Amino acid sequence: MLFIFSVDPSQSQAGLSQWITGPEIGTAAITALFTLAAILFKDYLLKRIDEVRSDRKSEAAIYRLYSNPLVTSTVSLLHRLNEILFVEHRPVYLTKEHQVGSKQGLGRSYVSYKKFSTIYRLAAVLGWIRACRREFSYLRIADPESTQLVDDAIVSFEKALADGGWVEQERVHRLYELWQLDNSKPLVETEDIEHLGTKVNNVFWEILEATNMEKKDSSSLEREIKIRLCRMTADCITSYLKTNPITDAALDRTWEEALNIITMREAWIYRDWQSAIGDVMTRRSQADERHFEVIGYGEFELFLTNGTEAEKLAIERLLSIVDGLDLSIEDRFDCRPRQLRSVAKSTAEIILAIHRTQGKRSIVPQYSVDLASEVIRKLDQ
């Protein structure tokens, strides 16, 4: 059944409401609705807006307080990495002649200072990253997208120090070529290579654990154990590929080269180690502006003689990246030059990310922006 109502156009919507519900009920309902809306706006929406504004102000204040020392420390590290990677004949202080434990290891000479100041600059960056993270743990991030560019760059920096999956894959490829396995199952699947790389790495750790040796001391293994390590590695690869085993004659010809590949020098600072180093580098700040600050070079230097176990362990892990490093040659059995290049690129990316995030108010000096851009250009060539 169809009902057609004729309403005078001059009647208002309120009049229609009154016609349907009665004048008293309609007016009371509308009044109650507006009153409820006003209460919600005042007690909830305005309060929430104020909270968001407060969070954003706190977030912006913390970024201002920490971005300046973070920029300073990353620029300092980038200058040193640029010198190490691109200035010929400069990084002699990293070579074996000045390795820790040698006569000129970490004495008072200029080259010793250069080596130690290099790891201090790296440690300082880790310290400021850790300080930022600890500070932000007290704060609800109001606008996470505004800091995403910087966060991504920091994650890339941590990854460059910590992740060595590419070394495991490189090791498999080299052994694959050395033992001329290219006529067997081809290594084309990335997942395949990663899985096999992990298995080969586990063989290495199994041998070291059985002999109570550390990875850095693998050269001290007895000849018989070295050959057994190569044999176990060869069997691991051929078993995985489901192909004929490497003959004793072939292994006898190639085991020394294979051993160099298996024991390629690595020095990864894993993420939890990075946090631990950051904790060692930070102190509670006496200033009201921020909760944390990073120790200076003088205090860091005292770790050598008066440091706690944690402080000395931090130095040992940092030194492992640069100690005995020779960049004058292309050492096929040292993965650290490639690691340093990745660290340099991600350091430059942090600088540029902060510069872009801050826009016209950027605190990054133009010469630092230019250096960061130039380092990335060189590394991408």
What is the tens place of the pLDDT at every residue in 151-160? 899 999 999 9
pLDDT of residue 5: 34
Among the candidates 262, 289, 318, a domain finishes at: 262
- pLDDT confidence bin for 104, thresholds 50/70/90: very low
**126 close to 274: Cβ distance less than 8 angstroms:** yes
Q: Are residues 154 and 289 in the same domain?
A: yes
pLDDT of residue 88: 74
Among the candidates 239, 262, 285, a domain finishes at: 262
**168 close to 195: Cβ distance less than 8 angstroms:** no
Beta bridge partners of 258: none
What is the tens place of the pLDDT at every residue in 35-44? 666 666 556 6
In a domain, 223, yes or no: yes
- pLDDT confidence bin for 374, thresholds 50/70/90: very high
pLDDT at 315 over 80: yes
Q: Are residues 214 and 252 in the same domain?
A: yes
Tally DSSP H helices, then E strands, for the chain. Answer: 15, 2
In a domain, 375, yes or no: yes
Q: Are residues 147 and 283 in the same domain?
A: yes
Q: Are residues 244 and 225 in the same domain?
A: yes
Can you tell me the distance from the alpha carbon of 339 to that of 121, in angstroms, rounded to the nearest whole number? 16
Question: Mean of the pLDDT values across residues 130-154?
Answer: 73
Q: Are residues 200 and 178 in the same domain?
A: yes
- pLDDT confidence bin for 217, thresholds 50/70/90: low
What is the tens place of the pLDDT at every residue in 39-62? 665 566 555 554 545 555 555 566
Q: Are residues 218 and 258 in the same domain?
A: yes
Q: Are residues 142 and 208 in the same domain?
A: no
Number of domains the chain is built from: 2
In a domain, 340, yes or no: yes
Q: Are residues 153 and 241 in the same domain?
A: no
Of 264-273, 295-304, 322-331, 368-377, the range with the lowest mean pLDDT is 322-331
- pLDDT confidence bin for 285, thresholds 50/70/90: confident
In a domain, 45, yes or no: no
3-class SS letters over 192-224: HHHHHHHHHHHHHHHHHHHCCCCHHHHHHCCHH
In a domain, 298, yes or no: yes
In a domain, 245, yes or no: yes
Question: Mean of the pLDDT values across residues 85-109?
Answer: 65
| C-alpha distances in Å from residue 174, one per residue of 188, 301, 369 | 14, 40, 38
- Which helix (DSSP H) or strand (DSSP E) does residue 293 occupy? strand 292-294
Question: Mean of the pLDDT values across residues 157-165?
Answer: 93
Q: Are residues 153 and 78 in the same domain?
A: yes
In a domain, 49, yes or no: no
Can you tell me the distance from the alpha carbon of 311 to that of 25, in angstroms, rounded to the nearest whole number? 76
Q: Are residues 156 and 273 in the same domain?
A: yes
Among the candidates 247, 262, 277, a domain finishes at: 262
- pLDDT confidence bin for 185, thresholds 50/70/90: low
pLDDT of residue 12: 47
Q: Are residues 139 and 188 in the same domain?
A: no
Structural domain of 319: 71-161+269-380
Q: Are residues 154 and 273 in the same domain?
A: yes
In a domain, 149, yes or no: yes
